[in-house]
Amino acid sequence: MMPADVDHLGREYSSSEPKEGRLARALNVDIPVLRELGNEILGDFDEQASGVGWWAPHPGTSRRILIGDHLFTCVRSVETNLIEARLHLMEAMDFWQRESDFNARAVSIDRDGRVKVAFPERKRPLDEAVPVIATLHTVGFVRAIAGALDCFGAVIVGVLALRTGLLRADLDSARRALGTVKGGDPGEEAQLQVRLVFGETHSGCRSSGLVSLGFGSEKHVHSPRAGGFRCSKPVRCLRESWTPAGSRFSAPT
């Protein structure tokens, strides 16, 4: 990590700091409403009803257990993935800075004004490992962000009971399912209200609504009025190009 990051994370927690979510808060990726939602779902679990109690007897015992567990895991996994993304980003920035310093004198100008490029020789294994580690953390960052988006999409599908498969749900499938909602009953009217928050669901890779993430030098808040948060599809494409077949999970634990 960069010295500033080490200094920030090296400070002791305040004695009044609640343990739940404190690492996410320290990393500026905290989403309290998702933690509250997870607690609400956990509180709905009923041992006698085998899953979310107020769902019983629907949709059957085994399906109720599977759906409830998957939904809860997805809610919790959003924060887990964001924490991993932040840590990957910190490490990537550090190692890319080391690589930049290593090549800082590669370009020079001779007496005749001609530009000369001569990269320094990598004499140690560590010299060769630095760019590899930087790439490793860059890929890890993208994978973690994609995982957070996938899990968030599954949360939308599960909480709103959208007409699409939950176990393979992601943000794209949630947006597509929202796009088919017509209204007409109280459940679909609630779904329509959520669609308004996300903006136009047919606009390519646009994912609107308030999305507040502190992955830049400052916290950025994206809203429908500002044009949305264009990241879902490009991030998913990058994640899939870097992930071996058979090792993709919607809700990593």
The domain ranges of the chain are 22-242
The reported pTM is 0.75
If you search the block for the tokens 């209200």, which residue do you land on? Answer: 193
Q: Is residue 6 very low, low, confident or very high in pLDDT (cuts 50, 70, 90)?
A: very high
Q: Burial level of 106, CB count in 10 A (0-12/13-18/19+)?
A: exposed
Half-sphere exposure of 175 (CA within 13 A, CB side): 21
Q: What is the C-alpha separation between 183 and 90, in angstroms, rounded? A: 44
Q: What does the pLDDT read at residue 35? A: 92
Structure tokens at 33: 């409403």
Check if the beta carbon of residue 81 is closer than 8 Å to that of residue 147.
Answer: yes
> Tell me, what DSSP letter sits at residue 209?
S
pLDDT-wise least confident of 128-132, 166-170, 223-227: 223-227
Q: What is the C-alpha separation between 50 and 57, in angstroms, rounded? A: 10
Helix (H, G, I), strand (E, B) or coil at 9: helix
Range from 30-34, 212-216, 224-228 that averages highest in pLDDT:
30-34
